[in-house]
Structure 1
Amino acid sequence: MWPFLTARPRPFLPLLALLSLALLLTTQPPAQEAAASTAAPRQINIPRFTGSTFASEETAVLWFGQVDHAANYADVRLGYNDDKIKVTLHIFDEHLWYDTSPTANTLTQWDAATLYLHKTAAGSGSPNASSYRFDAQLTHFEARPAYQKAYRGSSGAWTAVSIPFDTTVEWRGDAPNTPGGDRGWLISFNIPFASLGASAPAAGTEWRLGLALHDRDDAAGPPNPTQTWPEALNSQQPSAWGILHFGMPAYTPPLATPGGRLTLRHGLHGTTVVDAPVGGGTMCGDPAAPGYFGQWGSLNYAGDATANVQNQWDVADWPCFSKFYVSFPTTSLPAGKVILSASLRLHLFGSASPGDAQPSLLQVFELADPWDEASLTWNNAPLAQENVAAAWVDPAAFPGWPGIPYDWDVTRAVAAAHAAGEPVNLALYSADGAYHSGKYFSTSEAGDWNAVARPTLIIEWGEPVAITYDWHAYLPAVRADN
């Protein structure tokens, strides 16, 4: 935005007069920047921790992959502190296999994961000195050094480098390299900033991030197809990776005067709100028991009046993990208005084993892809576009209807949806570590007698304040002396 320009009149300054007149004739307010021609990349906003402890429930979380006999799925927890970035993948995998005689070139031909980092926001067209790749494979009990390798970009290719980093592995199930069934495994990457030639980034800094999940289901192979985040990850093109944002972005609305409040809830003033849980629901995916891998990822809960949000560190219990998806229309929101604030409100009416449970930091995610309640499942549900809000929810026994209200600040997501003329599509999930983390909420299927418990979006909107440009030119007074 151009600043308000003025020049004080002074005698005998004809040059100033000419310059001011030129500004008046030629200077215009800046044109609006053209919209980007490509879809926005997926983004994860990660918290900064003090000290050496990364509390699982406070990390950011993203997810990708599928759950079935051949494919794998991963929850990814991320955070950083003054010294390092930590990335942990919790992987649902029915068959765990690793190489007992590993080589650097074959690490990713077994159960393994790859972490990609690039130290600029724009990325690059090929790997360069700002690009890093970390490969690491599953193990049973072996020492880790032979099962991990670091690479750095150089002249458009990946070159092996010896830099300090470490990985840790856990697994759950029969055991790796056996024909018995397993539940999964997890791997944590601990990458010191010093190894990247950097210090802890300031809040608001953006890098590029990519993840790859490698899978093998027997000793003979071959490896199964690799799954990635983002979906179209190109390991040779950092500019096509996702955005790693350090800290949580803030939202500052444009100048506006208060205009009104809009409350969106299913059935209120004819509004239709669509929502559905995915995953294990409140019964830990019981219809898919006992094997789970064959059916769990395809369970649909359309019409269910209860949503469970649940996660935990122990990957063995993934059949209980659950997310909640909800979509609010924006057609009743007046066009051209400024979103001053917006809150998502859910009503908690219970939790899993409330006497043993811990508080959960439930996270809200903005979605960019459409979905259909009638067919929504864990395997086809949209990935998060960006994590936009979080709020602590305490465990509770049944408190009576409508339950305990909890609010999340989703102003940024609503403002973006309103600007695009799209519905507000959201998902809820957590990065919980503790057992018994399930939190139960009413959905839009709650009966009319309990309508207030349905998911609600409360929007405060305003009238935009016009910004005008007031341009002046002052000509000097000239005194003619006889």
Structure 2
Amino acid sequence: MSKQNLRIVWMLLITVVIAVFGYSSQVQPRVFGQDDSNSDNTLFLPVIVRQEPPTPTPTPTTPPTATSTPMPTPRPGTATPTATPASPTSTPPPATPPTRTLRRVNAPYFANEITFEQMGIFWFGSLSETSNHADVRVGYNQSGLEIYVAIFDRRLWYSTSPTAATLTDWDALTLLIDTDSGANALTSSSYRFVAQLSGDASANYRAVYQGNAQGWQQTNLAFTTKPGWRGAVLNNDAVSDRGWAMTFTIPFSSLGLSAPPATGSEWRLGLQLHDRDGANATPNPIQTWPETLQRDQPTTWGLLRFGLPGYQRPGVAAAGQVQIRRPTQNDPSVPDADVGSAIENQCPGDDYHIWNEWANRNYGDAGDFNIQNQADVADWPCFARYYVTFPLTAIPAGKVIISATLTLHQFGNAGGAGEAQPSWIQVLTAAEDWQENTITWNNAPRAWENIGGRWVDPVGSNWTGWPGIPWTWDVSYAVANAYAAGSPVRLILYEADSAYHSGKFFVSSDTGDWNIQGRPTLTVVWGNP
């Protein structure tokens, strides 16, 4: 039996088991602190809805010519929702990429309340029984900056008698901000916010410091933290937990500002993740974003940019177009892979597997992939990111990029009828190479920067047959930067979703040659300078 058929049988068995028996685990995760009004104290294993491929038939092995393909409406009957830009222009203002030594997160602006699903996302850490992974969401509005961090953590420990000096001896986060991106030492523009996991939002579990020439000085300024956790019980190693979360809300007025920073301006940003796995245990090594971070050296922190980056198309006529996709199933070009909860390993519940094997598995030869995330940190075994690299050598030298579009074909989703929700799927870039047959959740490149996103619906009535439902993302900014640097464009797709059943299933580069058109495709229009 082929791998493709084995995957089909496996997914059908999972669906039947869920439908008949539901899901239960030895320890039912519980949620505290963070909003989860629909939780019934269980780990949700979503039903799988997918279209099965037809019997393969011989087809040409060369890519078809580019054609205009209508896209389904992202939310039927409504306009596509987007984060309100910080300027009155219809598109974000042009941006330059970060330097080759600094990672950057581009924070979306929201005119009113910050929309959780559309916050900019990035991640760091390494997942195992004794080390943690963190997903980070960032957004801002007129009043302040919000940063939400979800941590995958097997042992949740906090102090029952906290002091400011010992907050980071337990499960905690340090958030570093410098409002002067050019600072090369600690100054009064440098801030250190510390928040420890706890059962409530008591001010005893947080502290804030301001920089000066001598180092850090504890100070008082208005900000809030909101902790949450998922597991059996805090401060108990008898059972495994799932993780915890922390939301930092920092008013701009607390940082001496009367309004949000101008669109396109940059601050310095850094995060330290502190971990402890027992009452008498030694704290585990600190994990950081970016990996170069030294707490007292702002030049080693990453960048926080206000507003999503835009791309200013050159005012020249189109002189050519190229469509880039894998031409045959066995061709090595356009490598792609999802990491984490691949379709053939959706939402596993085995405790040993998720802490020891899940983050180290490779699915690079799969003919399909999943993109998934949600607010409930207990369900992190359902989360999945997607990586794809397009060579740009087919674009003649000395040209300018007018536009570039990524097209993915959807064929399924997590959740049954009435359960599946639309997803704001974001595009990010990577700066490092990776290998299709070795990439995993733990060794995959971190994001270099996030560049935008779009809503993607569940399949529903949008399905009209293969090659699948086409969805497109504008990646002109990423392609233009990669082309100028003489490198391939390395893309990552991920979500910052809130709802359960958010997974979206797409056709990969490794699908059979019966569905060449369904493979991930990059269409680039170029002109003469």
TM-score class, shorter: 0.7 to 0.9
The residue number in structure 2 matching 1:308 is 370
Q: Which residue identity is paired with 2:192?
A: R
Q: Which stretch shifts more, 288-297 or 450-459? A: 288-297
Looking at structure 2, the residues matched to 116 and 287 of structure 1 have their Cα atoms a distance apart, in angstroms, of 35
Corresponding position of 2:427:
364
Q: Which residue of the partner structure matches residue 434 of structure 1? A: 499
Q: 1:329-340, aligned counterparts within 5 Å?
A: 329-340=391-402
Q: Aligned residue for 1:100?
A: 160
User: In structure 1, the residue corresponding to 2:165 is in which secondary structure?
Assistant: helix
Counterpart mapping for 1:43-62 below 5 A: 43-51=104-112, 53-62=113-122
Is the alpha carbon distance of 1:188 and 1:284 closer, same or farther for their aligned partners in structure 2, counting shifts above 3 Å?
Answer: farther
Q: Is the 8 A contact 1:283 1:320 kept in 2?
A: no
Structure 2 counterpart SS, 1:168: strand
The superposition leaves residues 190-218 of structure 1 with CA deviations (integer Å, 9 ceiling, x where unpaired) of 11111100121121121111011100011
Q: Which moved more, 1:263-272 or 1:366-375?
A: 263-272
* Alpha-carbon spacing, 1:264–1:37, altered in 2? closer, same or farther (3 Å): closer
| CA-based RMSD | 1.9
Distance 2:303 2:287 in 1: 18
Asked which structure has the greater CA Rg, the reply is: 1
Residue number in structure 2 paired with 1:167? 225
Deviation of 1:94 (Å): 0.2
Among 210, 233, 244, the residue aligned to 2:304? 244
Aligned to 2:270: 210
Long gaps (5+) in structure 2 = 1-96
State the percentage of identical aligned residues: 48
**Matching residue of 1:405:** 470
Q: Is 1:349 the equivalent of 2:417?
A: no
Judged with a 3 Å threshold, the aligned counterparts in structure 2 of structure 1 residues 399 and 354 are, in CA distance, closer, same or farther, namely farther
Change (3 A) 1:54 1:37: closer
Residue 245 of structure 2 is aligned to residue 186 of structure 1: yes
Structure with the higher strand share, 1 or 2: 1
Residues of 2 paired with 1:287 and 1:352: CA distance? 14
Aligned residues: 427
Stretch of structure 1 that moved more, 247-256 or 185-194: 247-256
Counting only pairs closer than 5 Å after superposition, residues 40-439 of structure 1 correspond to structure 2 as 40-51=101-112, 53-122=113-182, 124-141=183-200, 143-179=201-237, 180-198=239-257, 199-267=259-327, 272-285=333-346, 289-291=350-352, 292-355=354-417, 356-397=419-460, 399-439=464-504
TM score, norm. by length of structure 1:
0.85
In the TM superposition, what is the alpha-carbon distance from 1:286 to its structure 2 partner? Answer: 5.9
How far residue 285 of structure 1 moved from its aligned partner, in angstroms, is 4.8
Q: Distance in 1 between matches of 2:497 and 2:347?
A: 21
Take 1:262 and 1:324, find their aligned partners in 2: how far apart are those partners?
Answer: 23
Distance of 1:38 and 1:64 partners within structure 2 = 19
Q: Cα offset for 1:400?
A: 2.1
Distance, in Å, in 2 between the alignment partners of 1:451 and 1:227 is 41
Deviations 1:221-240 (A, max 9, x none): 21000001101101111122
Secondary structure at the aligned position of 1:50 is classed as coil
- Name the amino acid aligned to 1:190: T
| C-alpha separation in 2, matches of 1:50 and 1:363 | 20
Other structure's SS at 2:157 match: coil
Q: Does the residue aligned with 1:224 lie in a helix, a strand or coil?
A: coil
Q: Matches of 2:298 and 2:453 in 1, distance apart?
A: 29
Q: Deviations over 1:368-424 (max 9, x none)?
A: 011111110000000000111211101114542111101101011111111111111
SS at match of 2:158: coil
AA aligned to 1:256 is V
Q: CA deviation at 1:268?
A: 7.0
Q: Match of 2:408, as an amino acid?
A: L
SS of residue in 2 equivalent to 1:412: helix
Residue pair 1:350, 1:399 contacting (<8 A) in 2 also: no
Unaligned runs of 5+ in 1: 1-35, 465-482
> Are residues 158 and 284 of structure 1, via their aligned partners in 2, closer, same or farther at CA, if it must alter by over 3 Å?
farther
Q: Distance in 2 between matches of 1:145 and 1:225?
A: 26
CA distance in 2, matches of 1:67, 1:135: 22
